Structure 1
């Protein structure tokens, strides 16, 4: 049914559940996975004096976190029987939902799998929900794992 799954990962506990689901789906359907980690734009650009050290620290920490999240996906794909084919993507300086949808389009994925933190009510409204935006923006099915 599915041949190419785009897995949105951020290393969070919610994302870990999505990783397990995506790997299981890929194994069952003989699909490949593209795991994407999106680094949001630096949040302090345009506010007061720009501190280049702050930007460097932010990017370094985000890239380290992405490497850890990708390593976890790699380990699960290699442990799957049969082994799941995996590609890794790192996107920088783009809004998370927009980057995920663009990557799904570029990779011609036929399913997006993403975790949900389960925020609702005021916190969901104020913080926004990447999974809600994915469902709205994506042109392929989106599986949201809670």
Structure 2
């Protein structure tokens, strides 16, 4: 069974994320839990944060009312999940949003964390909030960022031939086994790093072979240039509904398993849903 933790708040984007992951998993043996983290009123009061014109009781009541409203919204979206045979339950906790989501993911041994995001600015492009950044950097499992609802017909796998990329393929392939979307195994030949054409072709052939084991018929594509620029160009030029990539680049850190700058940049620069893969089993060792 695939266990999924969806972080939700008062934004419509978080409900879109919940709908999207239920669509992704509609043919899987999966269980979805939607977690809402209430602000800790006691924390603000103990640290003398002033909230103008709002008394303690009023603040507590407002927080509870908001939590009740979010729970109703979650239950409504969960009806969509249940219609697709995906069990979905709300969970409400109190504290710091990022810390509580990370802690619950670890405690409940979830296989995937999902977050909704809009984060668009005409001046600064696509943005990620503090919660998203913290979870992307510190989650010990795959994270899916969803900015818009899309039916999954076309999937791009940014494949550099690393072990993390290979495991990302093996993670997503069974989820999509019955949907049978068109999957593109996309490799950027980075000549600046001394990458040969032979290596590039070997990479996409390995990726294709892995997907074929799950009954997929992927296409392969190799281009030359900068990994981030060429991947963004491919995403913008083609109508992909999901982008999948490993969290680490070629220069993977040995001890601090933080997301690569390249993966973070890709998440920030596209409106498409992006799944950033980390192998949670590695963190058990």
TM-score if structure 1 supplies the norm length?
A: 0.78
| Aligned-partner Cα distance in 2 for 1:103–1:84 | 20
Partner of 1:102: 103
Residue 90, structure 1, aligned to residue 89, structure 2: no
Secondary structure (helix, strand or coil) at the match of 2:55 reads helix
User: Following the alignment from structure 1 to structure 2, what is the Cα–Cα distance between the partners of residues 140 and 55?
Assistant: 38
Residue 77 of structure 2 corresponds to residue 76 of structure 1: yes
Work out the CA distance in 2 between the residues paired with 1:36 and 1:99.
9
SS at match of 1:28: coil
Contact 2:111 2:141 in 1 (8 A): yes
Please list, as runs of the form range in 1=range in 2, the aligned pairs for 1:1-146 lying within 5 A after superposition. Answer: 3-42=2-41, 44-45=44-45, 46-47=47-48, 54-80=55-81, 81-92=83-94, 94-118=95-119, 121=124, 128-146=129-147
Aligned length: 139
1:49 Cα deviation (Å)? Answer: 8.1
Q: CA deviation at 1:97?
A: 0.3
The answer as to whether partners of 1:36 and 1:100 remain within 8 angstroms in 2 is yes
- Contact 2:78–2:89 (CA<8 Å) still a contact in 1? no
Give the SS at the match of 1:143. Answer: strand
Q: CA deviation at 1:71?
A: 2.1
The answer as to whether partners of 1:8 and 1:37 remain within 8 angstroms in 2 is yes
Work out the CA distance in 1 between the residues paired with 2:102 and 2:135. 7
Taking the aligned partners of 2:63 and 2:77, their CA distance within structure 1 comes to 22
Higher relative contact order (CA 8 A, sep 6+): 1
Quote the Cα distance in structure 2 between the aligned partners of 1:48 and 1:95: 15
Compute the displacement of 1:145 (Å). 1.1
Where structure 1 has 5 or more consecutive residues not aligned to the other structure, the ranges are none
Higher mean displacement: 57-66 or 95-104? 57-66
Cα RMSD for the two superposed structures? 2.7
Where 2:27 maps in the other structure, the secondary structure is helix
Q: Which structure: larger Rg?
A: 2
d(CA) in 1 for partners of 2:49 and 2:75? 40
Question: Whose helix proportion is higher, 1 or 2?
Answer: 1
Deviation at residue 77 of structure 1 after TM alignment? 2.4
Contact 2:29/2:86 (8 A) holds in 1: yes
TM-score by length of 2: 0.43
> Residue 85 of structure 1: CA displacement?
1.2
Structure-2 separation of matches of 1:24 and 1:30? 13
Moved over 6 A (4+): none
